[in-house]
């Protein structure tokens, strides 16, 4: 049964379509990360924003970095199925 699982997924999934979805999502995340890095690199924002807001932005940055890492890993797995 395990052998069938390893053979069938490439037949049931459009690898190119999944890679395209992952690429699109990765670009979306990269855009959000760029915005966050801009905020965190802005001395005025850091000086004026409440500490809770800065922490929220840093937390969002960490979440997005984790999501980006998962996308990179998923892309590697799909590439291996080609």
pLDDT for the residue numbered 36: 98
Segment 7-59, tens digit of pLDDT: 555 557 788 999 999 999 999 999 999 999 999 999 999 999 999 999 999 99
DSSP state letter for 49: S
Q: Which domains does the chain have, with CATH numbers?
A: 2-81 (1.10.287)
Q: What is the pLDDT of residue 4?
A: 44
pLDDT of residue 1: 37
pTM attached to this predicted model: 0.80
Residue from 18, 25, 34, 30 nearest 76 by CA: 18
pLDDT of amino acid 14: 85
- Which tokens go with 74? 């998923």
Which pLDDT does position 6 carry in this prediction?
53
């Amino acid at each position: 049964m395990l052998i069938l699982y390893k053979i069938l997924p490439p037949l049931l999934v459009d690898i190119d379509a999944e890679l395209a979805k992952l690429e699109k999502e990765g670009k979306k995340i990269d855009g959000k990360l760029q915005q966050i890095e801009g905020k965190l690199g802005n001395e005025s924002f850091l000086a004026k924003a409440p500490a809770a807001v800065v922490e929220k932005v840093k937390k969002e940055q960490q979440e997005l970095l984790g999501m980006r890492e998962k996308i990179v890993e998923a892309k590697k797995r799909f590439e291996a199925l080609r």
